Structure 1
């Protein structure tokens, strides 16, 4: 019998209250690793017991397989509507592939409840087709990151969002793992073109798919998490294959997997990874969502992205606690943490549309690297890790190519507060709010606090 944690019960109670208020679509936000699948499954269990037809929809085979295992563990009888599965449309509960269900809408009994897993993808044509086809069905969306790259708010589909605890709160209570983050001092993406809101893959691959960069990844894996199971995120399939090859060439068992592989071959590679026979599993856009293996002890980021959602989903793969796992290691060779912040930053999610950044507007992140211990920290008189003073107080320390250094979380948070304190205009505060994903009301809270001398908005800084 699966017993929900208090915050999971609170999420479901929030959804029930929304439905009592005649709202059609409710979004449940819960950090990666917080137990969205178990929470939603409890809702399916209760609704189907009342005789309701319930659908659980996902867009990846891994998500469908994961949910089916959870349903089976809970004793929920269900069918699967997806390629490679024999459908049983008479089952009250169905787990469906978005792609397959969208093609079979006319052949299926109408649902009373639809749960969209990873619902930040809503708006894509097949998702939208299903959403529009059953106006009388109640809708529940599940996501860790209600954030679309195009800036369109999920309020276009959901009337209410119920938030779970933050990553920091989940770490504090032991529901997620503590982490150590190592990151490069600088990643030059200035010459990379933008396509559909993110870096153009061909241009990105030409920058990242180099033996020197992958070699650095191998060296730092050995230095910082040797022998641990790590998932590496690549730009494209060829890049992922090259990463695996270079790890193998250095006697570190690695395998590449991608969506074009036969499912049996992919499952076998994952099984070897779980068993510890393979230590590094490389992929491209396959394991960002739905790869829930608590034994993952490290992630290796080799794909710069402008997407906050993609970054947090990838980092979150390593944050699930497991027996014998004291902490997660994040090796950020892509520099994404310098753009999107720490995994447990206090982010304020909103259903509203986001204001787009101006083309020439860039995130301002200043970082020093200690040349003694290679610890990364926000500007300070001396290194918080070893106490070493910079050789020159008047200039930034020169970057060493390929070196990763640990991010000092306390120092970074102190610098974030300092940045807010140094912001003199509303425009400065609005820029900070956009970069950190804060709610629009944060700027007003800070301005009001300054005018009245109060502390309103302090929790955001």
Structure 2
């Protein structure tokens, strides 16, 4: 028995010596940057920086760094000799414990997680933050804060979470233990500040520098554009909402594109890791790979532990060529043989993206490089999508083809080629889009006006002297009225007044739809102006239902003083406005009115307006009100000229003569007014004016009425001219495009010899 005991003791001694030899060998084989990081941290600790963060990329050996740092952190007191290592996943706990035992075999290391209770006497406690930091948990009370010299936080970008905060608060004392954290990405996408936990990032080394020095595996990048759109996916906590993202990208076409990309680009790769959005997406991808002849399995949160270990073992051994996961292998996964990473999960989080990217960056025997296939879906520029190009400071939509991540010249060359190609495509697309928009605009105007059902008393547009829809434009009012007068000069004066009213309102139907003086601003928007209010009926053309809705804007005055009566320029009515005040209108507010057609909308709004106005106000707004049939005022014509209308000189003369006659100061007979009108018409440059003058008969010729002028002023003031000018430009562009196509067709015909 004694011999057995002595043998066992010698065996333990030999094992301890072996561990110490391994420790000595490991301590002298730290990479230069790892030793530099430890030396920097210790020097700054000596200088008083007690809450430090270190940023090192995935695969750089962060666990090795803190495993060797632990022994070198001085104890602030005789009893404060213990170290607490915090991690949030079981794989990270096991990895940290294993590495610490290797680096410091003389230390007693214990794991505190769930049902596993750590021995409080252990030198190093590797603890689950979910276990210690749980709300109202007594587990944390088992650890005496005064016994700890150091707290290590693995994957430190999680350290601002509430569970970490509860643990750190427990260990706060007069000075508290030294807090050290490490992560590949020391920032969070949820907005929580890591500065509340760490004072400074004391050491960092970019992953490109690590690749350049050979510490990380060479990386080749291929980006694949898909037809899947993700610009409509909502955001949640700084990233895409998982359920909405899965619904957008988990479609057959995109899943097939992923499988085809592996078949075409990574068929010879031994170990391909695919990142999916969620469980459903991962399962669909596995089915797609298997369907097209590639062995694949998935590791999910619901995968039993034994099954997960079996799958990971097969993947490490190269028996399983494709492994799909969602949120399982993003952190703490040490599988160096991964030689292809497929980014099938779009993300706005640089933290998540770099964690996924880093899975293939570790060196491994026989591994020449890692291929990263990044799938870039259609997105708006305003969306901060993270891709491999964005990590390199390039355009997120840059398409790379098997490009070495360190080959800046090749990337710049591809970027320039893509820029030129995109410019050509953009010019072509813009032309096509513009052409479609132009055609849609022209069709919309023509459908709204040319095909409308006109009142029988007015006849057809052609009979009224119209040759194009543009004649309803306020800027073309005089040319349209001239043509109409030449063609229909035999009709009665009353009919011509009605015709002028219809033309000036912008819609030939309006005089028959309503007695009140509505005007058309665009085919989808109509206006009724009254003193201190403006009423609108509008239609949302993007809505398939195309319902009409009512709204209102009201006048408001500023810097009010003593009230005075001021004439409203366009019309005969008076409005009370404080002297020296300024007027503006409130924002447009909806009225509870909805109709399926314009007729119902106008009638409904008429009912509403009639209930709010007094009878004399309604009479003034009637299209047949006597004041509207009078000649326009000089002020109205001045307003129209200022708004861009080209008014014939004859009309100005006529208005002045009419104003003089009304005031009784002109003393001019009507016959002499007609003579001067005819003379002015003949002298005007327009080729149509002379023919119009020939049709003038004494006392029954009207070019414009006061009501028509009011209509035109309202339309021009509220954007009608802009809409009609856009229509004119659209027709010009369509004409130019048709001419260009005809010339191209003619040239092609000439090249091939023709008939």
Q: Is TM-score (shorter-chain normalized) higher than 0.5?
A: yes
- What's the CA shift for 1:19? 1.6
TM, length-normalised to structure 2: 0.46
- What's the CA shift for 1:166? 1.4
Q: Is the 8 A contact 1:254 1:278 kept in 2?
A: yes
For residues 109 and 237 of structure 1, the distance between their equivalents in structure 2, rounded to whole angstroms, comes to 41
The corresponding residue for 1:222 is: 263
The corresponding residue for 1:115 is: 152
CA-to-aligned-CA distance 1:395-447 (integer Å, 9 cap, x gap): 4799xxxxxxxxxxxxxxxxxxxxxxxxxxxxxxxxxxxxxxxxxxxxxxxxx
Q: Which has the higher helix share?
A: 2
For residues 67 and 327 of structure 1, the distance between their equivalents in structure 2, rounded to whole angstroms, comes to 27
- What's the CA shift for 1:107? 1.3
- What's the CA shift for 1:379? 6.9
For residues 369 and 94 of structure 1, the distance between their equivalents in structure 2, rounded to whole angstroms, comes to 46
The corresponding residue for 1:206 is: 247
- What's the CA shift for 1:311? 0.4
CA-to-aligned-CA distance 1:213-267 (integer Å, 9 cap, x gap): 1221111112111142011111111211221222122232211112233322212
Q: 1:296 to 1:381 in 2, by over 3 A?
A: closer
- Report the secondary structure of 2:323's partner residue: strand
- What's the CA shift for 1:32? 1.0
For residues 181 and 315 of structure 1, the distance between their equivalents in structure 2, rounded to whole angstroms, comes to 11
Q: 1:101 to 1:180 in 2, by over 3 A?
A: same
- What's the CA shift for 1:364? 6.4
- Report the secondary structure of 1:317's partner residue: helix
> How large is the RMSD of aligned CA atoms in angstroms?
3.0
Q: Is the 8 A contact 2:85 2:152 kept in 1?
A: yes
For residues 290 and 222 of structure 1, the distance between their equivalents in structure 2, rounded to whole angstroms, comes to 28
For residues 289 and 85 of structure 1, the distance between their equivalents in structure 2, rounded to whole angstroms, comes to 22
Q: Is the 8 A contact 1:253 1:279 kept in 2?
A: yes
Q: How does 1:176-191 map to 2 (within 5 A)?
A: 176-185=216-225, 188-191=229-232
Q: How does 1:52-451 map to 2 (within 5 A)?
A: 52-74=81-103, 75=105, 76-83=107-114, 85-102=116-133, 103=137, 104-110=139-145, 111-135=148-172, 136-185=176-225, 188-226=229-267, 227-334=269-376, 339-340=385-386, 342=388, 345=391, 365=396, 367=398, 382=417, 393=424, 395=426
Say which one has the larger Rg: 2
Q: Is the 8 A contact 1:390 1:397 kept in 2?
A: no
The corresponding residue for 2:44 is: 18
Question: Which segment is superposed worse, 149-158 or 1-10?
Answer: 149-158
Q: 1:394 to 1:95 in 2, by over 3 A?
A: closer
- What's the CA shift for 1:278? 1.1
- What's the CA shift for 1:58? 0.5
Task: Work out which structure has the larger RCO, using CA pairs closer than 8 Å and 6 or more positions apart in sequence.
Answer: 1
Q: 1:55 to 1:200 in 2, by over 3 A?
A: same
TM, length-normalised to structure 1: 0.74
> For this pair of structures, how many residues does the alignment match?
375
- What's the CA shift for 1:161? 0.9
The corresponding residue for 1:404 is: none
- What's the CA shift for 1:338? 9.0
- What's the CA shift for 1:340? 3.2
The corresponding residue for 1:438 is: none
CA-to-aligned-CA distance 1:42-91 (integer Å, 9 cap, x gap): 01233499971011111011111222221233324300111353532221
- Report the secondary structure of 1:11's partner residue: helix
- What's the CA shift for 1:194? 0.8
- Report the secondary structure of 1:216's partner residue: helix
- Report the secondary structure of 1:65's partner residue: helix
For residues 380 and 306 of structure 1, the distance between their equivalents in structure 2, rounded to whole angstroms, comes to 22
